């Protein structure tokens, strides 16, 4: 008797679940987790987009740190107050550090003393993704060099491979270094590498990257480098710009107006 | 056969006990590292690899140097190496195990190590390194064990062993070549970005590994009463000397290319290591000790009269091992990170925790080697009796 009752309840349970499942399929409004149909309209086409950034360093002033603050808050980047454990996605540096192989003889002091923003270049030929033994870092269909924090084994090969110092490792539990937590982006765990993601989580919502939005001088322009009519392409074709260490053949997607 | 490692004198067990103590210390330091993260090491954002990866690089060389006895014995039928070849192979086994442990110790998430196999990435040199190192470990332990087992039974080794041993020769070259490729293909690390890195790795490996092998045979002679023979040692000493000469020649060519071309990025790494850069010079004494010890040992090893004397031979072999250990185990890896890609100079020094983990891993390797050699020596002695 008992056995029969058990098997009946089992079957009834399965039937009920199947019913809910098919109902959810037939009536999208009933499903617990909604599928966003527009997301399926356009199948990602590798190489169609290539997100890029243009930094007009002439507009950048010494004391302003809005872009860094906005990015580091948005992405829960920890701050431990020491250089050894430092994690950074975007930071301000000097001309000789950001462009160590560029000409610096007889440059105007106005140029060499200006601050220069550094971040991941989202290279078209990234050496970091090549060095990664687990595909934990990879180049997406839209040109963004992305990270899978759950696959990263923490070998730090990408850090050795990156010629721009754009990657940081979580030497310790990052949550201890987050003073004000953002709920819109996950924190990372100890022992994995992280870096700028060009705000892919904001792009998918149609928003500009946090740093671009935060800059009071509108010194950062973000756009699709593959779109001839985009603002970024228009500016790139009209003024002289620089990339970091172009001689290495990494084809950075971040450009600078000096 | 392994039971032969469980019977030994009081000194043997004292030695095993000491090694176990070091392993325990290393393990406790490692567990602290697991809890608190790699922040307990001296590594940081700028120098992101340290003593672990450096030890790994040195030990791949020690592992590869087994060919210096395998080639003459199996390929050229040099009977003098008959008693050394098993020592070389077992040394390769122990060194390969240490290599793997150093990689694990360096990883931020060692629990995810299998991701390397779950998501094989042929574009990554690490993937190939994992393949060749594991392969080399299997090849050496299987072939050495089979040959020793046959010897114990007084029968010729099985026919399949020969091809496996022949395979171990190109395989040994592959492990150190791939290890060099880990570094030599990275843009922006100018100290490593050189085609001569793989040949130099092989040369320095054959110098240091062979010297270490000579030292191990001398230790076995003294502690276990097992003499691999002076003839083999003398021949190995000559091999070590020429390999060392090739290594120092290639270091010289690095200096020429960097300093004659006068390209700043090419000079910076060498300047930092050997002369100091912008007032930072922590590694300068190390590098000069390496050069002096290396050249001095080379002179002794090349001199037939001196190398015949056990004292001189030991000093020269020790000097060569020290020289290459500093070159690969200290200078090469750290020099690749200084200056940083943004041309900032941040120095590294290992922490106590890091050194304890390192000690523990060396102790694991030495324990494996001790036990394997105990088996080998017991079998060989039984056969002689």
- In B, residues 329-358, which contact A (CB 8 Å cutoff)? 336-337, 340-344, 346
Closest-CA residue of B relative to A249 is: B187
Mean pLDDT of A219-234: 95
pLDDT at A30: 54
Q: State pLDDT tens for residues B313-339.
A: 999 999 999 999 999 988 999 999 999
The reply to whether residue B39 touches residue A172, judged by beta carbons under 8 angstroms, is yes
- pLDDT higher than 90, residue A47: no
What CA–CA distance (Å, rounded) separates B110 from B288? 36
Q: Report the residue from A98, A132, A163 with minimal CB separation from B124.
A: A132
Counted across chains A and B, CB pairs separated by less than 8 A come out at 142
Percent of chain A with pLDDT over 90: 74
Q: What are phi and psi of A256, to 5 degrees?
A: -125, 135
**Cβ-proximal residues to B285 (8 Å cutoff; 6+ apart), any chain:** none
Alpha helices in A75-224 (DSSP H): 95-98, 109-113, 127-131, 157-161, 200-203, 210-214
Percent of chain A with pLDDT over 70: 90
pLDDT band, residue A41 (cuts 50/70/90): low
- pLDDT higher than 60, residue A40: no
Q: What DSSP designation does B156 have?
A: P
- pLDDT higher than 80, residue B206: yes
pLDDT at A25: 61
Which of residues A26 and B28 earns the better pLDDT score?
B28
The reply to whether residue B123 touches residue A130, judged by beta carbons under 8 angstroms, is yes
What CA–CA distance (Å, rounded) separates B79 from B189? 45
Q: Does any CB of chain B come closer than 8 Å to the CB of residue A171?
A: yes
3-state DSSP percent of chain A in helix, strand and coil, to 5: 35, 15, 55
The reply to whether residue A169 touches residue B125, judged by beta carbons under 8 angstroms, is no
Return the CATH fold of B2-384: Formate dehydrogenase/DMSO reductase fold (1.20.1630)
Token digits for B92? 């390769």
Question: Mutate which of B268, B341, B351, B353 to disrupt the A interface (most A C-beta within 10 Å)?
Answer: B341
- pLDDT higher than 80, residue B376: yes
- Residue-by-residue DSSP string for B203-262: HHHHHHHHHHHHHHHHHHHHHT-----HHHHHHHHHHHHHHHHHHHHHHHHHHHHHHHHT
Closest C-alpha to B244, from B211, B269, B277, B274: B211
Mean pLDDT of A162-171: 96
Identify whether the C-beta of residue B328 lies closer than 8 Å to the C-beta of residue B203: no
Q: State pLDDT tens for residues B152-184.
A: 898 999 999 999 999 999 999 999 999 999 999
- pLDDT higher than 70, residue A28: no
The reply to whether residue A156 touches residue B108, judged by beta carbons under 8 angstroms, is yes
What CA–CA distance (Å, rounded) separates B140 from B145? 8
Indicate the SS3 state at residue B16: helix
pLDDT band, residue A24 (cuts 50/70/90): low
The structure's pTM equals 0.91
Show residues of chain A in contact with B337, CB under 8 Å.
160
Q: Does any CB of chain A come closer than 8 Å to the CB of residue B188?
A: yes
Identify whether the C-beta of residue B202 lies closer than 8 Å to the C-beta of residue B65: no
Q: State pLDDT tens for residues B65-76.
A: 988 988 888 888
pLDDT at A17: 76
What CA–CA distance (Å, rounded) separates A168 from A38? 35
Q: State pLDDT tens for residues B41-84.
A: 999 999 999 999 999 999 999 999 988 988 888 888 888 888 89
pLDDT band, residue A71 (cuts 50/70/90): very high
- Closest approach of chain B CAs to the CA of A92, in angstroms? 12
Which of residues B3 and B103 earns the better pLDDT score?
B103
Cβ-based burial of A93 (10 A; exposed 0-12, middle 13-18, buried ≥19): middle
Q: Does any CB of chain A come closer than 8 Å to the CB of residue B291?
A: no
What CA–CA distance (Å, rounded) separates B8 from B169? 33
The reply to whether residue A154 touches residue B108, judged by beta carbons under 8 angstroms, is yes
3-state DSSP percent of chain B in helix, strand and coil, to 5: 75, 0, 20
Identify whether the C-beta of residue B37 lies closer than 8 Å to the C-beta of residue A175: no
Angle (CA) B197-B202-B208 rounded to 5° is 120
The reply to whether residue B46 touches residue A165, judged by beta carbons under 8 angstroms, is yes
Show residues of chain B in contact with A163, CB under 8 Å.
187-189, 341
- Closest approach of chain B CAs to the CA of A75, in angstroms? 19
Lowest mean pLDDT segment, chosen from A97-111, A170-184, A205-219? A97-111
Q: What DSSP designation does A172 have?
A: S
- pLDDT higher than 70, residue B367: yes
pLDDT band, residue B383 (cuts 50/70/90): confident
The reply to whether residue B113 touches residue A153, judged by beta carbons under 8 angstroms, is yes
Q: State pLDDT tens for residues A73-88.
A: 999 999 999 999 999 9
- pLDDT higher than 70, residue A26: no
């Amino acid at each position: 008797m008992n056995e029969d009752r058990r098997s009946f309840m089992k079957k009834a349970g399965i039937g009920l679940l199947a019913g809910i499942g098919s109902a959810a399929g037939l009536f999208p409004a009933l499903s617990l987790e909604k599928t966003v149909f527009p997301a399926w309209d356009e199948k990602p086409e590798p190489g169609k987009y290539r997100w890029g950034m243009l930094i007009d360093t002439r507009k950048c002033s010494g004391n302003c740190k809005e872009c860094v603050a906005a990015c580091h808050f948005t992405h829960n980047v920890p701050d431990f107050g020491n250089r050894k454990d430092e994690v950074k996605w975007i930071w301000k540096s000097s001309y000789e550090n950001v462009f160590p192989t560029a000409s610096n003889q007889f440059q105007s002091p106005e140029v060499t003393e200006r601050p220069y923003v550094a971040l991941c270049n989202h290279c078209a030929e990234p050496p970091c993704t090549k060095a990664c033994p687990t595909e934990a870092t990879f180049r997406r269909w839209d040109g963004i060099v992305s990270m899978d924090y759950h696959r990263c084994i923490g070998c730090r090969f990408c850090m050795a491979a990156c010629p721009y110092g754009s990657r940081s490792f979580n030497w310790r539990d990052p949550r201890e270094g987050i003073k004000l937590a953002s709920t819109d982006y996950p924190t990372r765990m100890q022992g994995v590498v992280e870096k700028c993601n060009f705000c892919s989580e904001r792009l998918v919502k149609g928003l500009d990257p946090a740093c671009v939005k935060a800059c009071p001088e509108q010194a950062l322009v973000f756009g699709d480098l593959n779109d001839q009519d985009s603002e970024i392409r228009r500016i790139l074709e009209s003024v002289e710009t620089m990339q970091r260490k172009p001689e290495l053949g990494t084809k950075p997607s971040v450009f600078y107006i000096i | 056969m392994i039971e032969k490692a469980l019977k030994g004198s009081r000194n043997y067990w004292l030695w095993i006990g000491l090694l176990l103590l070091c392993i325990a210390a290393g393990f406790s330091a490692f567990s602290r590292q697991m809890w608190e993260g790699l922040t307990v090491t001296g590594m940081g954002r700028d120098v992101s690899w340290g003593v672990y990866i450096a030890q790994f690089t040195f030990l791949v060389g020690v592992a590869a140097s087994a060919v210096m006895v395998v080639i003459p014995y199996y390929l050229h039928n040099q009977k003098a190496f008959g008693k050394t070849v098993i020592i070389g192979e077992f040394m390769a086994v122990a060194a390969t195990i240490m290599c793997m442990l150093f990689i694990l110790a360096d990883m931020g998430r060692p629990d995810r190590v299998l991701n390397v196999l779950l998501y094989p990435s042929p574009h990554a040199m690490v993937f190939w390194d994992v393949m060749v190192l594991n392969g080399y470990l299997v090849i050496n332990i299987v072939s050495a064990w089979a040959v020793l087992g046959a010897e114990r039974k007084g029968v010729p080794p099985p026919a399949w062993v020969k091809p496996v041993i022949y395979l171990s020769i190109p395989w040994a070259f592959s492990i150190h070549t791939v290890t060099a490729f880990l570094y030599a293909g990275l843009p922006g690390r100018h100290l490593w970005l050189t085609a001569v890195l793989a040949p130099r790795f092989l040369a320095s490996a054959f110098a240091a590994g062979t010297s270490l092998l000579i030292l191990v045979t001398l230790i076995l002679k003294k502690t276990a009463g097992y003499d691999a023979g002076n003839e083999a040692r003398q021949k190995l000493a000559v091999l070590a000397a020429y390999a060392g000469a090739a290594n120092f020649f290639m270091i010289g060519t690095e200096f020429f290319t960097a300093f004659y071309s006068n390209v700043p990025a090419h000079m910076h790494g060498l300047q930092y290591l050997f002369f100091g850069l912008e007032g930072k010079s922590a590694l300068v004494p190390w590098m000069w000790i390496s050069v002096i010890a290396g050249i001095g040992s080379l002179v002794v090893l090349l001199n037939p009269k001196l190398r015949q004397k056990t004292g001189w031979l030991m000093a020269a072999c020790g000097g060569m091992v020290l020289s290459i250990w500093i070159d690969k185990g200290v200078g090469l890896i750290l020099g690749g990170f200084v200056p940083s890609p943004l041309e900032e100079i941040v120095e590294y020094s290992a922490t106590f925790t890091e050194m304890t983990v390192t000690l523990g891993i060396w102790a694991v390797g030495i324990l494996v080697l001790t036990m394997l050699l105990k088996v080998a020596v017991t079998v060989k002695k039984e056969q002689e009796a």
